[in-house]
Amino acid sequence: MTERLSPLRDSIATCRLCAERFAATATQHSPRPVPWFRPGARLLIAGQAPGMRVHKSGRPFDDPSGDRLRDWLGLNKAEFWDQSRVAIVPMAFCFPGYDAKGSDLPPPPICRATWHDALFEALGPLSLRLYVGGAAQRYHLGTKTGVTETVAAWRDHLPHALPLPHPSWRNTGWLKRNPWFEAELLPVLRARVREVLT
Ligand code: SF4
């Protein structure tokens, strides 16, 4: 299966399916897919979509959200960006643009529909899958609850999966209102990440 990963990665990297959609956004940007996986990855981070900073750098979670996520995982940058150990597969591989209020637009559904089935088949079994934010949780876990309720039920998904809130600064208030996340979930998350990556 893993021999299919390199061609898939190349196809995703050159995908331009959303060119017209992105050209119509306020930023009028071109697609810049950020596929991030190699054979042998054991940890999956399934998120929403790249933001503007990642669109510019070409590296996933290359922003303050990524710093917080790495802290949650107990990984340094070299470990986090090692594609042969960590696969990062969002609901869309490109920055979707901003809405009228300056918030990120939702990931275009055509991305998941085009790439996810083939990609997850080629990735094979992953030892630990982290679902970051509501979009990834609804798709991968089939949850219909909000992020707080889904993450609060984190023990239901162990040992091979965990739902996480998005590590954005916008969720700093959420973290304060839900102290169990740092006190109870994070120690288990860090231990599981170490187990699967060593
Ligand atoms: S978001 Fe996905 S489908 Fe759209 S251009 Fe980027 S890689 Fe292609």
Q: Which tokens sit at 33?
A: 């897919």
CA-based torsion, 21, 27, 30, 35: positive or negative: negative
Protein residues with CB under 6 Å of any ligand 1 atom: 12, 15-18, 31, 33, 92-94, 108, 110-111, 114
CA of 186 to the centre of ligand 1 (A): 32
| Angstrom distances, CA of residue 29 to CA of 50, 83, 98, 171, 172 | 13, 26, 10, 27, 29
CA of 15 to the centre of ligand 1 (A): 6
Predicted confidence (pLDDT) per residue in 1-48, tens digit: 567 899 999 999 999 999 999 999 989 999 999 999 999 999 999 999
Predicted confidence (pLDDT) per residue in 179-191, tens digit: 999 999 999 999 9
pLDDT, mean over the chain: 95
Q: Which tokens sit at 72?
A: 């949650």
In the chain, where are the structural domains located?
2-197
pLDDT at 1: 56
CA of 157 to the centre of ligand 1 (A): 29
pTM: 0.94
| Angstrom distances, CA of residue 92 to CA of 19, 50, 119, 127, 142 | 13, 8, 13, 22, 18
Q: What is the CATH number of domain 2-197?
A: 3.40.470.10
Atom of ligand 1 nearest to the CA of 110: 3
pLDDT at 132: 98
